[in-house]
């Protein structure tokens, strides 16, 4: 079974597989399965499955790719993310977990993950009891969270301690909110794996040609995206990257095969976008004031237009 020490430095992103919020009938399933098989066979062993993505189609494609890859179930780390968007009650959560277990012909997921909004919807203590039950019964080896503020992350960690495996959150070269608020460092200091989604902002970071990225890409003979990936993994982060082409998969893995000078890693870590004012954050998706945390990488270009 995969442990913290054997977890691949890059994870497989699932957003966009089979569609996005809804299933895409025109989706190129064959290309995505081929890319997923390639990643599994090259040793990428961290993947998220989420039945909300593309109305469950992404999970089906991941399962089909795993079967075709020849990689055993226990040789990948499955994080099942269960959102409250389409699960109206905590009993629906149980049904979705069981659906995943049936699909992968397994008696456990490696980690069961919930967003902060789910605790708000079902009641914090109520969902805590459910998670504790899944752990004690062996239906989940660990628990994970996504898009937590520092207050609730500390509370969750105090309860589950070493059973809290990871925190999925947005972190990129430009958007450092979770670092500014101390959330990233709390994970690093407490053996909670930080799993950034949209780490490359879907290639939008590289398109801006920030002088520091351009300089370091030239210095090391790498792409700007490879510089970003190397910087993140050098700091102990495990970014989720969704890739559909063999060329880009190999490029991402080659980002792990060189070492940047510590001074350059520090320069990247110390970088902050000049004069960037982040919008107010709406942690509970109440849509009253501010922007929900997962939207920050998407609205960055609106708030900080290119010159």
Q: Which residue has the tokens 């389409």?
A: 86
- List the one residue out of 228, 225, 206 whose CA is nearest residue 306: 206
Alpha-carbon gap, residue 41 to 45, rounded angstroms: 9
3-state secondary structure of 28: coil
Angle at 173 between CA 193 and CA 42, to 5 degrees: 55
**Average pLDDT estimate for 203-213:** 97
Alpha-carbon gap, residue 67 to 65, rounded angstroms: 5
Residue 217 pLDDT more than 70?
yes
Residue 301 is encoded by which pair of tokens?
A: 């270009």
Residue 287 pLDDT more than 80?
no
**Average pLDDT estimate for 175-186:** 97
pLDDT at residue 286, as a whole number:
74
Residue 116 pLDDT more than 70?
yes
Alpha-carbon separation of residue 46 from 2, 150, 303 (angstroms)? 9, 24, 33
pLDDT at residue 172, as a whole number:
98
The alpha carbon of residue 94 and the mean position of all alpha carbons in its chain are separated, in whole angstroms, by 22
- pTM here is 0.97
Report all structural domains of the chain as residue ranges with CATH numbers, in order of start. Answer: 11-303 (3.20.20.100)
- List the one residue out of 96, 93, 116 whose CA is nearest residue 283: 116
For the chain, what percent of residues have pLDDT higher than 70?
99
Per-residue model confidence as pLDDT tens digits over 7-62: 999 999 999 999 999 999 999 999 999 999 999 999 999 999 999 999 999 999 99
Alpha-carbon separation of residue 27 from 50, 117, 188, 229 (angstroms)? 17, 29, 37, 27
pLDDT at residue 9, as a whole number:
98
């Amino acid at each position: 079974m995969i442990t913290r020490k054997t977890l691949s430095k890059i994870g497989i992103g699932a957003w966009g597989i089979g569609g996005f919020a809804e299933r895409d009938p025109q989706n190129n399933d064959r290309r995505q399965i081929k890319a997923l098989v390639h990643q599994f066979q090259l040793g990428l062993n961290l993947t998220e499955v989420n039945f909300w993505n593309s109305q469950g189609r992404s999970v089906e494609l991941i399962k089909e790719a795993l079967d075709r890859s020849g990689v055993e179930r226990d040789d990948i780390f499955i994080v099942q993310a269960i959102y409250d968007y389409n699960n109206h009650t905590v009993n629906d959560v149980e049904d979705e977990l069981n659906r995943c277990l049936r699909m992968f012909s397994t008696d456990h997921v490696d980690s069961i993950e919930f967003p902060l909004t789910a605790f708000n919807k079902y009641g914090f203590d109520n969902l805590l009891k459910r998670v504790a039950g899944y752990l004690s019964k062996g239906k989940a080896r660990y628990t994970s969270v996504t898009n937590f503020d520092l207050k609730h992350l500390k509370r969750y960690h105090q309860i589950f301690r070493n059973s809290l495996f990871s925190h999925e959150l947005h972190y990129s070269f430009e958007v450092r909110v979770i670092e500014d608020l101390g959330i990233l460092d709390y994970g690093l200091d407490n053996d909670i794996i930080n799993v950034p989604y949209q780490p490359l902002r879907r290639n939008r970071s590289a398109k801006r040609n920030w002088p520091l990225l351009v300089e370091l890409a030239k210095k090391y003979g790498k792409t700007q995206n490879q510089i970003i990936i190397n910087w993140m993994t050098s700091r102990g982060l495990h970014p989720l990257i969704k890739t559909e082409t063999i060329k880009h998969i190999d490029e991402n893995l080659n980002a792990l095969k060189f070492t940047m000078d510590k001074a350059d890693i520090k320069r990247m870590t110390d970088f902050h976008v000049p004069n960037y004012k982040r919008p107010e954050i709406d942690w509970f998706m109440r849509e009253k004031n501010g922007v929900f945390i997962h939207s920050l990488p998407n609205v960055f270009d609106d708030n900080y237009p290119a010159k």
